[in-house]
Structure 1
Amino acid sequence: MALLVSLPLAAACSGAGPEDVLARARATGSLRVALTQANPPWNFLDDAGQPAGYDVDVAKDLAKRLGIPRVDFIGSDYASFIGGIQADRFDIVVSAQTITGKREQEVDFSLPYAVNDVAVFVRRGATGITAPKDLAGKRIAVSEGTTEAEFVRASVPGADVRTYKNAMLGLTDLSQGRADAALVSRFQGGYLAAKKALPVQAAIPVLHQEVLGMSFRKRSRRFKDAVNRAISAMIADGTLSTISRRWFGGTDMAAAVRGLPAAQAPLPPVERNS
Structure 2
Amino acid sequence: MRRRTALAAGLAWSAAACAEAPPRLRVGFAVGYAPFSEIGSDGQLKGFEVDLAQQLCARLGLQLGQTILDFDGLVPALQARKIDAIMASMSITPEREQVIAFTAPYYYSPVRLVVRGDARFEATPAGLQGRRIGVERGTIHERFAAETFKRSQVLRYATQDQVFLDLKAGRLDATLVDAVIAQFGFLKQVDGRGFAFAGPDFSRDTRYYGKGIGVGLRKADAPTLGRRLDEALAALRSSGALKALNDRYFSLDLVTPPR
TM-score by length of 1: 0.81
Q: Which amino acid aligns with 1:21?
A: G
Distance in 2 (CA, whole Å) between partners of 1:140 and 1:17 is: 45
% identical aligned pairs: 26
- Give secondary structure in 2 for the equivalent of 1:149: helix
Query: Pick from 52, 57, 74: which aligns with 2:46?
Result: 52
Partner of 2:237: 235
Q: Which residues of 2 match residues 136-151 of structure 1 at below 5 A?
A: 136-151=129-144
Alignment RMSD (CA, Å): 2.2
Distance in 1 (CA, whole Å) between partners of 2:6 and 2:227 is: 16
Partner of 2:254: 253
Query: Pick from 22, 43, 56: which aligns with 1:62?
Result: 56
- Give secondary structure in 1 for the equivalent of 2:248: helix
Partner of 2:218: 217
- Give secondary structure in 2 for the equivalent of 1:114: coil
CA contact (8 A) 1:240 1:253 kept: no
Task: Give the Å deviation of 1:244.
Answer: 1.3
CA contact (8 A) 2:135 2:160 kept: yes
Task: Give the Å deviation of 1:95.
Answer: 1.0
Query: Pick from 25, 31, 34: which aligns with 1:31?
Result: 25
Partner of 1:42: 36
Q: Which amino acid aligns with 2:225?
A: F
CA contact (8 A) 2:125 2:148 kept: no
5+ residue gaps, structure 2, are none
CA contact (8 A) 2:108 2:254 kept: yes
Q: Which amino acid aligns with 1:54?
A: F
Cα deviation 1:164-185 (Å, max 9, x = unaligned):
1221211221121101110011
- Give secondary structure in 1 for the equivalent of 2:220: coil
Partner of 1:7: none
Q: Which amino acid aligns with 1:156?
A: F
Partner of 1:71: 64
How many residues of Structure 1 are paired with residues of Structure 2 in the alignment?
241
5+ residue gaps, structure 1, are 1-15, 261-274
Q: Which residues of 2 match residues 117-128 of structure 1 at below 5 A?
A: 117-128=110-121
Q: Which residues of 2 match residues 163-202 of structure 1 at below 5 A?
A: 163-191=156-184, 192-199=186-193, 200-202=195-197
Task: Give the Å deviation of 1:96.
Answer: 0.5
Task: Give the Å deviation of 1:124.
Answer: 2.9
